[in-house]
Structures are given as structure tokens and as C-alpha cells.
Amino acid sequence: MKALLQSTIQSLPLLGRGKVRDMYAVGEDKLLIVATDRISAFDVILDDPIPGKGCVLTALTEFWLKRLGHLIPTHLTGIAPEDVVAPDERSQVAGRAMVVKRLEPILVEAVARGYLIGSGWKDYQASGAVCGVQLPAGLRQADKLPEPIFTPAAKAEFGHHDENVDFAYVVAQVGAELAAEIRRVTLALYSEAAAYAAQQGILIADTKFEFGLDEQGTLHLMDEVLTPDSSRFWPADGYAVGISPPSFDKQFVRDWLETQSWDKTPPAPRLPAEVLERTAEKYLEAQTRLTQGAQ
């Protein structure tokens, strides 16, 4: 599969490019979101795309939006991406794009954690809490939490890390009622997804959701959902407490970059073919495990 580093849609106005996604306007009330094969590590976009990665992200997002749509409205429209671009541009959107509702984004990362890892583990080591949520003493790295917790993050400027915040921060941003609803829905989405994924041999250690409001003020689930880019997926048979378990994401890329003499500022080293191939295989394996045989 030929990798797509950047889309070049001319038939629609370009609104912006993120780390992975290119966004175009479809009229006044819809967007075309194209998931490219770009990959970032340490908040730097690499020059080498991962073949097929954008198709995996799109397929998984659509799978979860449909599976979890009974919990909250989603930004899906059902319009085929091929129908909103010029004929010679259809190959750029086939299998890797969605036409979605244009919503007012809520500028808070809604993170759910079921296991103690990553920045949550660091917070716990320092304070015994994660984002203001007090946890039992004596937990170890990668321990399963007594119950999933809502640990929001403030969105950072492009190229910087999001910052963990507490629930009071979310209340200050959006009000008490909407903050409570975001927390409730985040935990409901995570709990249902984690239970399903566990049946497929995958543990969802944590994940982040994006929400937006329509013109009536109704909360919607939007952007990517439960992908290897937005979540920490662990193979259940590789899980162990006290270590950082292997994951279905850009682990091979990060591990290889850590062996290079690089100061983590652009440009990043060029990735060897083996790292590109193994990373592509991991993304595809996550999609296959989660969607194969799904009822």
C-alpha cells in the first residue's frame, strides 16, 4: 500500500492540518477529515509515514462510533467521502476519510484510565493521586485500578504535551453540568469498550475522547475514537504488573528513536524500512483483533 503523507484535495477549502489529520470544509455544517499516514513521536511529526496507518485509524474510529453510538450522539453523517471530492481525488479519501458534522469542540481532553501507567503513574508516584483522584497506597506500575477514573488534560499548543488537570479545571472551562456529563459519558464509553476489547484479548489501559456541541448544545462524540493513537492497547497475554507492557502503537518507532543521537526537535531521523513495516503490522493487528468477528 502506498503511504499518504499529506492529502492534496483541491475541490474543498482546507481548514488545517494536524499531526495526522487534514481537515476540509464541506459546506457550512460538515467537515471532511482525512487520516493520513503521518506519525509523530515525542511531539515531532516524522518525515516517514506508516503505510496504511490512516486507514486503520479510520476503520477503528468508525467501528467504535457505531458500536458505542447508543451511549451518546456521534459526529457521523453517513455521507461517503468519495461523494464530496472531485473524481480524481477519490483515491485520497477512500478508506481513510470521514464526512462528519461540524461541531463546536470542547477544548479539554477527556481521558479515562483503567490502569496506572504513563503520566498517571508519574503523578501517582509524586502525590498518590492522578488528576486530583486519590488512589489506594501501594499500587505498582501497570496495576489495574479499583475502578476506571476520569483524568482530564488541558489541550496544549501544537508541538507541546497536554497537561494533566483536575475535574475542577473542567468545571471552570465548561460549567458544572456539562463537566459532569462529560465525565459520566467518558467513563461509560471506556467501560463498555474495555469490556468488549478484553474479550478480544486486548486491554485498554487508557484512552482519550474528544467531544463537541451542536447548535442545540447537544454533546457529541467526535474526532478519532479508541485507536492506537488515542489509546494504550496492551495484548492481554503480554500484560504484567511492575513493567510498562508492550502496546499496539508507535512503540517500535519510539524505541528505535531512543537509540539515536537526536535531541527530539525537528527534523527527526529517517526511519528504517523494518521499523516502518513492524509499526504498520502492529496497527493492523490491533484493528484485526478488535473488529474480527465482532457482533
Q: How far is CA 242 from the centre of its chain?
A: 25
The conformation of residue 230, written as its DSSP 8-state character, comes to: T
Contact assessment for residue 75 and residue 221, using Cβ atoms and an 8 Å cutoff: yes
For the chain, domain boundaries: 1-102, 105-238
- Supply the pLDDT for residue 295: 56
For 145-176, what is each residue's pLDDT tens digit?
999 999 999 987 655 667 899 999 999 999 99
Distance CA 148, CA 187 (A): 7
Check the CA dihedral 109-75-19-195 and report its sign: positive
| Res. 252 pLDDT band, cuts 50 70 90 | confident
Distance CA 64, CA 224 (A): 9
Contact assessment for residue 212 and residue 218, using Cβ atoms and an 8 Å cutoff: no
> Model pTM greater than 0.75?
yes
Judged by average pLDDT, the poorest of 18-32, 108-122, 170-184, 281-295 is 281-295
Domain 105-238 has CATH 3.30.470.20: yes
Superfamily of domain 1-102: Phosphorylase Kinase; domain 1 (3.30.200.20)
For 255-275, what is each residue's pLDDT tens digit?
999 999 999 999 999 999 999
